[in-house]
Structure 1
Amino acid sequence: MLGGTAEARALAAELTGRGPHVVSSLAGRVSNPRLPVGEVREGGFGGPDGLARWLADERIDALVDATHPFAARMTASAAQASAMTGVPLLVLRRPGWQEGPDDRWHRVASLEEAAGRLARWGSAPDGGHHLPADRPVRVFLTTGRRSLPVFTGAAGVWLLARSVDPPEPPVPGNVHVLLDRGPYTVEGERALIRGHRLDVLVTKDSGGGMTTAKLVAARELGLPVIMVNRPPLPRGVHLVDTVEAAAAWAAQG
């Protein structure tokens, strides 16, 4: 199982309890990760060819991709390795978030499009969104430390960048890094938004309950949200959105 998510940990526990031997692979991009039960492998495979070799060498019967919804490269490698080896592949993805009637979401296709929209708001802060015209637009950025360089060039923007691990230095002067790990509370997110006088939230459509509090707080405080859509899945993959469905697929063997 290609893991690293709460769903992957839950599935590893479920399958291990039923008897199959589960090997969970973690990419190693987060320090001190939460580990699943069973055997754990850390580090990459060297692309689809390396994954295919590993599947063959370990005589793997089934492959589950339960990585983050934005781990597009890993999912593509899994699909290619499955096609090369004949090992059946299942993709487990939690459902994405859905906009409510009181939300002010602006969906975009990529991080770059999100940064471009911020740059436009920073140069013309009113933008129809009641953003301040007398100071930089203050942005709550929760798209992960690796995405920070995409946003640091936006003029007229100040960033509160929250991540589990620190970004690569140097960190620009218009960026304040907040190291924290969920789950978060609505009360805490509301206090964070107010305390830092934040004007807009930028996030990825990761789904799940661990980080939804920021969306609730943004709704309550009237903040616009720039929501980055998930990358498309490879064609033809078998997709489920619950741990129970994934466990049932694995049981069919």
Structure 2
Amino acid sequence: MHVLILGGTTEARALAAALHSEVRVTSSLAGRVARPRLPEGEVRIGGFGGAEGLADWLRAHGVDAVIDATHPFARTMSFNAARAAATAHVPLLALRRPGWVPVAGDDWRSVASLEEAAAALDGLGERVFLTTGRMGLAAFAGCPQWFLVRSVDAPDAPMPDRAEVLLDRGPFTLEGEREVLRRHRVDVLVTKDSGGAATAPKLRAAREAGIPVVVVRRPPVPDGVPVATTPEEAADWVRGRR
């Protein structure tokens, strides 16, 4: 059995580790990170050429099942995967970590896009901790606030005029996030609802400091695609098709 896992997420790597001794596993990484953490099993890096290119790849390589374990905000890849799997008649499962849920003491503003997040900053604060990654920074290019932009690799222009870049990779600690907020005098946090534990400490640090958080809601999974919330659940789904 040949399983294609799309994505370089923590969950994707855990799934590859769980399955590689039982079936043939190929993990596909987008190639947007310069030094990605490689999963176990076979690895390919780069795009497929859209939904049609992915469908051709599935047929050419005898893929029996596809797991879309991409980042929750990789909307284009997820919809391409759904179209490709349907075209090639290959079963598809989406692996999505649960989203974050506010708790008592949180001051969250929920928005639908990075553009809405930029618009929501007016009146919230002047020093913004921007943790949405290096893609999409153009949405904040016209904002007057000062930004601390955290990403794994250096971002490209356009980006905010007043910005400092912090290159770092999770998982992050609560103490470390408290120090970032304190040292840079952050008074508002912007994040995507990525879910998971690796980047969640910033939310608790913001809650403790009384800092408002602008949260970009994640896009939906394509219609008709079943969803697993853990690598273990996804692995069982694969084993049920052997």
When the two structures are superposed, what TM-score results if normalisation uses the length of structure 1?
A: 0.91
Aligned to 1:41: 44
Alignment of 1:148-159 (within 5 A): 148-155=137-144, 157-159=145-147
Shift of 1:57: 0.3
C-alpha contact (below 8 Å) 1:152/1:175 kept by paired residues: no
Q: How many Å separate the matches in 1 of 2:158 and 2:88? A: 43
1:52 paired with 2:52, answer no
Shift of 1:154: 1.3
- The CA RMSD over aligned residues, in Å, is 1.1
**10, 15, 29: which is aligned to 1:11?**
15
The verdict on how the C-alpha distance between 1:38 and 1:172 changes in structure 2, with shifts beyond 3 A counting, is: same
Aligned to 2:234: 246
- Residue deviations 1:133-173, cap 9 Å, x none? xxxx0000000111211112113x11000000001146554
C-alpha contact (below 8 Å) 2:137/2:160 kept by paired residues: no
Aligned to 1:20: 23
Other structure's SS at 1:146 match: coil
Aligned to 1:182: 170
Q: How many Å separate the matches in 1 of 2:159 and 2:70? A: 28
C-alpha contact (below 8 Å) 1:65/1:89 kept by paired residues: yes
Number of residue pairs aligned between Structure 1 and Structure 2: 237
Unaligned runs of 5+ in 1: 126-130, 132-136
Q: Percent identity?
A: 59
Pair member with larger Rg: 1
1:141 paired with 2:130, answer yes
C-alpha contact (below 8 Å) 1:79/1:89 kept by paired residues: yes
Aligned to 2:96: 93
The verdict on how the C-alpha distance between 1:229 and 1:152 changes in structure 2, with shifts beyond 3 A counting, is: same
The verdict on how the C-alpha distance between 1:237 and 1:224 changes in structure 2, with shifts beyond 3 A counting, is: same
Shift of 1:2: 0.3
Other structure's SS at 2:87 match: helix
When the two structures are superposed, what TM-score results if normalisation uses the length of structure 2?
A: 0.95
1:77 paired with 2:80, answer yes
Q: How many Å separate the matches in 1 of 2:134 and 2:7? A: 19
Q: How many Å separate the matches in 1 of 2:80 and 2:17? A: 25
Q: How many Å separate the matches in 2 of 1:177 and 1:38? A: 34
C-alpha contact (below 8 Å) 1:152/1:172 kept by paired residues: yes
After the TM superposition, list the runs of 4 or more consecutive aligned residues in structure 1 that deviate by more than 2 angstroms. 169-173
Shift of 1:68: 0.3
